[in-house]
Structures are given as structure tokens and as C-alpha cells.
Structure 1
Amino acid sequence: MNDKIRILVVDDEQKVLNVIKAYLIKEGFDVLTSSDGEEALNIFKNEQIHLIILDLMLPKISGEEVCNKIRATSSIPIIMLTAKTEEDNKIEGLAIGADDYITKPFSNRELVSRVKAIIRRTYRDNNPLAQLLVINDGDLEINIEKMIIKKQGNPVPLTSNEFKILIALLTNPGQIFSREQLVNKAFGIDYDGFDRTIDTHIKNIRQKIEENPKRPRYIISVYGMGYKFNG
């Protein structure tokens, strides 16, 4: 992982872009901006991006569609930014793969704080890893830097949280993690979620990378103890 974290901010309001960019640059981040969904996708395809702040109400291609297209190939962290406040909209944003959701108007200090928390949880342990991990003669390919996973050459649409859990397991092959240990390893001790949600994430990961999720080859349950990676 490069020392400089690059963030893509996507919003159709130039004033919002300028303010967010100024705050993030002040915190030492490299920032790219875009005012429409089509341009945002082009930037994502051609630049090394580590996190995206994505407005939902965009011209040309909506924020939801941008998120869906990115999630089809990458687990990069995404923070949704929108004026929509209804709970259903928040749930929808998280369901399509967002890692966090902030409604306008918002505190720029809070946004920066959430960005830092996600960056810390996502990238803090990635420095020692090879950029590309190839498992079982290419059955799985994991690009750590770009957060892209392929199964037999086909992209696997893991969420950012699923990606972090998988990385925590596969970089410690054979080691058994309890749910609490896996939460701490994948997300850090400051994570505010519940350790039982690990079971749901594991189920989702198995559905995406295992030939037979009911008889997993990679993520193995150890009765009464937790999970380990076998590969």
C-alpha cells in the first residue's frame, strides 16, 4: 500500500466537492473529484483509488448504479453521501454495497472521521502483503491493492467488510479465529458492530467463492471455536 491514500469524491454540487476536497487534503489525503457518474466510473477504471465518497443523486449515471458497477469487480470502501433521509434509502444504499451512509447537511469533521476509520480498518494490515495472491493454481486470485477478487478468472463482488474478513483469514492460513478475534483482526478493536454478524458475512463469502457452500473448501468452521482458512 502506498503511503498516500487517494480518495475519489463524486457529487454534482461543485461547492460540496470543493469543501470536502479541502478538508481531506488538509488531512493528508490525495483527492480526485467528479461531478457525474459516468466520469466517476472512468476515473475509477483508470486511477488507483482507495476509497470513494459517492453522492446518490448524480447526472448521467446514478450513484446506485455506479456503486453496483464498482461492486461487480471491486471491494473498495464506499461512503454514500446523499440528501435522502428515509430509512429505506439508507438500507438500500448499504444493501448494494456501501460501507457507510451520511446524509446532507453533514459535518465535514464527522465525514473526515468516518473516512479515517474506514481507511484504518481496511488498509492498516495490508503493507506486508503481496499485491497479488494466487490460490490453488488460480482458482482464487486476490489483488490486495485494488481489492479485486476473481474465482476461476471471474470477478467476485465482495463487499468491503467481506473482503476484510477474507483477507484476515487467508493471510493466517490454518489459524482458528473466534468471532471476536476475527472482528478485531478484520475491523480493529474500535469496530462498533456485533461479532455474531461474522456468521452472516462468512455465509455470504462462501456463496461467492466456494464450489459448494455447504461443504466449503476454503473457509472452514471449527465447532465451538470459530473459523479458519484452508487453502
Structure 2
Amino acid sequence: MSAKLLLIDDSEEIQALVGLFLEKEGYQVIRARNGREGLRKLAHERPDLILLDIMMPEVDGWETCRQVREISNVPIIMLTAKGQERDIVRGLEMGADDYVTKPFDLAELRARIRALLRRATEMSPEDSQPKLFDDGYLRVDLERRLVTVEGKGVDLTPTEYRLLAALVQQAGRVIPHRQLLKQVWGPEYGDEVHYLKLYVRYLRQKLEKDPSHPYYILTEWGVGYRFRDFPGRD
């Protein structure tokens, strides 16, 4: 069965151009003209991925993204005419997985959709990899997908969780930037180091006692990142 995509955009041109292109690529495309309609169709259609415009009337893309993340981990790609970093960062902070700046190349959009769908359906890590990190302050339980700090649950976006899982599974080892990017975002993202730096910052803010002096997620300058080794193995 083909993947179901929810396209939320108030532009008739985008609805026609992108919707027709994706249907020709074999996807089932559900259309919504604004965030409010998109949220209704999310509940009824249960799409595999959302394409979400930012600048819309009534409920804009940022607020729509926030509300989607309250009820679903469905992958989200933001479609925006705004290319400034602060707008991209805001979308990612709301829980979006990726963004494409208008005007965009349809082949690039197709590649990003494929990467996110593939990532969402990948198998879980091998049984030989570590499943639990617990040093009394931070607990990362990959088996149960639970993260706590001092016993309190930590709310992570799907991308934040994938990045943390990738680091924990190789705790104590230096993981190069490109390897992390390809593992967490997909093979098309090997050079997108700004993605990685942004999400490492998010994780540090949520997990570290002092994000400016990280204890768990350590920077190996010019190379990549290393998660502190498991208790007793340091």
C-alpha cells in the first residue's frame, strides 16, 4: 500500500503542483487548506507524513505543528517561503523533522519525503546494542522508549529521541558528524552539520544539569560527538 501524505497549505498553486507530482510518484495525497482542517484530517486519515506550510490564515504552521506533536509522532516537513535561520529553528523546535524553503525543487522534496518515511519504518536497534543507561540522574531506557531526569519524564521530539538513542547505543565512542547525520536523518543529510548542532543543543538543554558545560553529550571538536560511557565503564 502506498504511503499517505497530508498536504496542509493554503496556496492553490502548491496544492496543485505538489499534490499532482506526489500522486504521480505513487503517494496518496490528502489535502487541507489550513491548520484547523489539517488537524481534523490528521485525526481521521492517519497519514504517514505531513507536509506543512508555515504562513496560513487562522492557525499558522507553527501552531499546527505544536498541536500535531501533542497527539502524534508522524514525520513533518515544513514548507516555507522563509529561509531565515530563526524561522527554520522555530519550526524544528516545535517538533518538525525537516524543512524545505520555497521555491523548492520537487526532486529534492521527493528525496526528503523518502528519507523520512524510510527512517520512520526502520527496524529497532539490534539486540546486542545497549538498551539502558542509568547513572541515578539520567535514565535512558531504549527498550521502553523512556527518558527521565531525576525521576521526571523528559518530553523529546521523535528526532531528538533518535539522536539520543544513536548516541547511547555507542556510548563511550566518538561518532563522526556524517555518521550521526546519516543514521538519524538519512543518507541524504551527510553534510547538514547545522541540523546536528541544533539538535545536540536541544538535548543538552533537556538533559544536562549545566548545558553550557555538558557532562553526557561531549563534543569532539572537528570530529563529532561522544556520549559518556555507561556507569562502571568510564
In the superposition, relative to structure 1, how do residues 29 and 142 fare at CA in structure 2: closer, same or farther (>3 Å)?
farther
- Deviation, 1:54, is 1.1
Q: Does 1:49 align with 2:44?
A: no
What is the percent sequence identity of the aligned residues? Answer: 24
Cα distance, 1:74 vs structure 2: 5.6
Instruction: Find 1:183's aligned residue among 171, 181, 184.
Output: 181
Q: Deviations over 1:74-111 (max 9, x none)?
A: 664432224x35x44x631443314212214x443343
What residue in structure 1 maps to residue 8 of structure 2? 10
- Distance in 1 between residues matched to 2:188 and 2:170, nearest whole Å: 24
Distance in 2 separating the partners of 1:192 and 1:80: 20
How many residue pairs align between the two structures? Answer: 214
Shift of 1:34: 1.1
Displacement after TM superposition at 1:62 (Å)? 1.2
Other-structure match for 1:127: 123
> Which 5+ residue runs of structure 2 have no aligned equivalent?
none
Matched, 1:79 2:85: no
1:33 aligns with 2:28: no
Q: How does 1:209-220 map to 2 (within 5 A)?
A: 209=207, 219-220=216-217
Shift of residue 61, structure 1, vs aligned partner: 0.8
RMSD after superposition: 4.2
The question of whether the paired residues in 1 share the 8 Å contact of 2:115 and 2:185 is answered with no
**Residue by residue, what CA displacement relative to the aligned partner does 1:172-193 show, whole Å, maximum 9, x if unpaired?**
2546242333233223443243
Equivalent-residue separation in structure 1 for 2:176 and 2:57 (angstroms): 42
Higher relative contact order (CA 8 A, sep 6+): 1
Per-residue CA deviation, residues 180-227 of structure 1 (Å, 9 max, x unaligned), is 3323322344324355864553232132245665575xx454978842
Partner of 1:92 in structure 2? 87
Q: How far is 1:37 from its partner?
A: 0.6
In structure 2, give the amino acid aligned to 1:190: E
Change (3 A) 1:27 1:141: farther
Q: Specify the code of the residue in structure 2 equivalent to 1:96.
A: G
The change in CA–CA distance for 1:150 and 1:51 in structure 2 (over 3 A counts) is farther
Structure with bigger gyration radius: 2
- Taking structure 2 as the reference length, the TM-score comes to 0.65
Cα offset for 1:66? 1.1
Whether 1:23 and 2:21 are equivalent positions in the alignment is yes
C-alpha contact 1:179 1:196 (8 A) present in aligned 2? no
Q: CA deviation at 1:52?
A: 1.6
Distance 1:16 1:203, change over 3 A: closer
- Letter in structure 2 aligned against 1:111: L
CA 1:178–1:141 in 2, change beyond 3 Å: closer, same or farther? Answer: closer
TM-score, scaled to structure 1: 0.66
- Alignment gaps of 5+ in structure 1: none
Q: Hey, what's the Cα distance between the residues in 2 that align with 1:134 and 1:42?
A: 37
